[in-house]
Amino acid sequence: MTRAAVRIAKFHTPEIIIGHESLAEVPRAAVGLGIRRLMIVSDLHVMGTPWYPEVADRLRSSGLQVYSFTSVSPNPRAPEISAALEHYESAGCEGLVALGGGSVIDAAKGVAILAANGGHILEYEGIDRARRPLPPLIAAPTTAGSGSDVSQFCIINDVDRRTKVTIIGRGLVPDVSVIDPRVLATMPPAVVAQSGMDAITHCIEAFASLAHSRLTDTAALSAIATAWHSIERLVDDPADSAAGLDMAYAALEAGMAFTNAILGATHAMSHPVGGLCDAPHGAINAVLLPHVIRFNADRDPRPYVDLARAVGIGESGSDRGTADRLAERVTGLALRVGLPGSLGSLGVRREHLEILTSNAMADACMTTNPRRPTAEDVARIYLEAL
């Protein structure tokens, strides 16, 4: 039976440049966007790799004035966005290059929001709160999984409330995404695993989303088939160029799927955990995803049958049984790539469940989950995942 999709679909992507040596295209993209003075947003890990000097040198060689902000943390904090904005404005910059993983790209989006709209970044929590056009943004991801380089999402850590806030808007899609699989060779295996499971979660949540369409379905099914069979290869050897190219394409397609279909309860529940415990986003997703699959499948298991088929999982005697099998295999895959099997191992305790539940229920990603959970449902899922 064909699942109903949204009646009118919009599919938004940036200009995408993908392939080995594609970092060489960053200066051309900047010039094409009319940028003369730009700020590279990055982090200390990327600063220790060859990629930062390569990009910076190429930009300078193209006659551009280059500034930088590299104090971005995993799970970027609101104060970091304010500090980065000061650097951006004091240098008189006209655009940004985000060179890093999802945290770096989200931080650059935060700077772009404030550069155009002013105020404090946490004021933009929710959907379409940033009204003015953002300055040009080029994203060059150094991980394969976040999808931030093609997405309309910006996730910022509210250190006071100890949760992550979700900012969504079509204007947050970068102008250009430059995806060079060479950069994946410098990822630690743990980051490969975390980002890869994030991509797989994007596929599953986008495919099951209330806002899915035929375009997002196609991207999600293609991406999960590739990621499922590539993630272990890249974890075992981040320098495997073929596995890196496969995961780069999978992360790209997964990003295109979820930015247009939005996500679901896994991400809505993951964001508060990341804010509370400062744990890796992909690791949290890997723990929660099987529980959310089972919860949603109680109402409608059909999306998970299609997803199971895409990764080569044979059907059981019922659609619900097949969904359960997919959930079990997700757990098995996460454990094989070295990720934790419980929220407790990430620092979550029973006394945290009330605040986590409250924050998850308010997260924008919950609106497109295929089954609307109650607060009691969410608390129960958290408890099961402990």
Q: What does the pLDDT profile of the chain (386 residues) look like in tens digits?
A: 467 777 788 899 999 999 999 999 999 999 999 999 999 999 999 999 999 999 999 999 999 999 999 999 999 999 999 999 999 999 999 999 999 999 999 999 999 999 999 999 999 999 999 999 999 999 999 999 999 999 999 999 999 988 999 999 999 999 999 999 999 999 999 999 999 999 999 999 999 999 999 999 999 999 999 999 999 999 999 999 999 999 999 999 999 999 999 999 999 999 999 999 999 999 999 999 999 999 999 999 999 999 999 999 988 889 999 999 999 999 999 999 999 999 999 999 999 999 999 999 999 999 999 999 999 999 999 999 99
Was domain 15-184 assigned CATH 3.40.50.1970?
yes
Q: Say if residues 359 and 161 touch (Cβ distance below 8 Å).
A: yes
CA distances from 235 to 139, 249, 379 (A): 23, 16, 33
User: What residues are paired with 123 via a beta bridge?
Assistant: none
Architecture in CATH for domain 189-385: Up-down Bundle (1.20)
The residues spanned by each domain of the chain are 15-184, 189-385
Q: How many residues does the chain have?
A: 386
Same fold: 15-184 with 189-385: no
- Tokens representing residue 28 in the block: 């051309």
CA distance 196 to 243: 12
CA nearest to 3, candidates 171, 263, 218, 210 = 210
Q: What order do you get walking across the sheet with 176-179 strand by strand?
A: 15-18, 176-179, 137-141, 95-100, 37-41, 65-69
Name the β-bridge partners of 18. 179
Round to whole Å and give the CA distance between 323 and 290. Answer: 9
